[in-house]
Amino acid sequence: MSKTDFKTKLKAVSLEDANEAQKPLLEKPMKQMGMVPNMYANMVNSPGMMETYAVGYDHFRKKSGFTPVEQEVVFLTISITNGCDYCASVHSYIAANMSKLPKELTNSLRNQEKIKDPKMSALSTFTKIMVDKRGYPTKADVADFTAAGYEEKHILEIILALAVKTISNYSNHIFHTELDEAFAEGKWPD
């Protein structure tokens, strides 16, 4: 449920209604997933925003140096911290079905509880610090993060994930994006 009373009057864009700038951006997920997620149908109202999101997301997934499990820890932490029900739900679905997060880890992230795995705990904690402190970590914050086995380069990758999730989270907030049936098993909050 959205936490704002504002809802944009912009409508979701279908493949049939897409203009020449929007159509290729919607054809790609259709080809990859067999569907156009509601979030993409909304975000494509701004083709530049949608393309920026897609390129950044792809770079994070393929070149961040984080494992798929670590990527979901970062994305779930950001989405839950930002209160984005849609992205938290979708990333919970991806965590279970694609990235193979242990259910206990996913539940700890979703419920904002203590994470038993020290490395995943450090990753989630540092990611949340970056959100909460608007990119101003302290030396101690960074020391704790690097002591867990991460490098300063990973801070930049978290910033990339923050940029991508800010685009999707904030867009979902103003659209009040409904969760696609395909991702229903990940619904958050429960």
101-136 pLDDT tens trace: 999 999 999 999 999 999 999 999 999 999 999 999
Whether residue 61 lies inside any domain: the answer is: no
Segments forming the whole domain that contains residue 180: 66-186
Query: CA-to-CA distance for 187 and 190, rounded, in angstroms?
Result: 6
Whether residue 81 lies inside any domain: the answer is: yes
Whether residue 49 lies inside any domain: the answer is: no
Whether residue 93 lies inside any domain: the answer is: yes
Residue ranges in 64-148 assigned as alpha helix (H): 68-81, 85-94, 103-110, 118-132, 139-147
Confirm if 64 and 153 have CB atoms less than 8 A apart. no
Whether residue 123 lies inside any domain: the answer is: yes
How many distinct structural domains can be found in the chain? 1
pTM of the model: 0.96
Report whether pLDDT(184) > 60.
Answer: yes
Please name the residue that has the structure tokens 């989270």.
169
CATH number of the CATH domain containing 84: 1.20.1290.10
Report whether pLDDT(155) > 60.
Answer: yes
Structural tokens at position 188: 């958050």
97 secondary structure, DSSP code: I
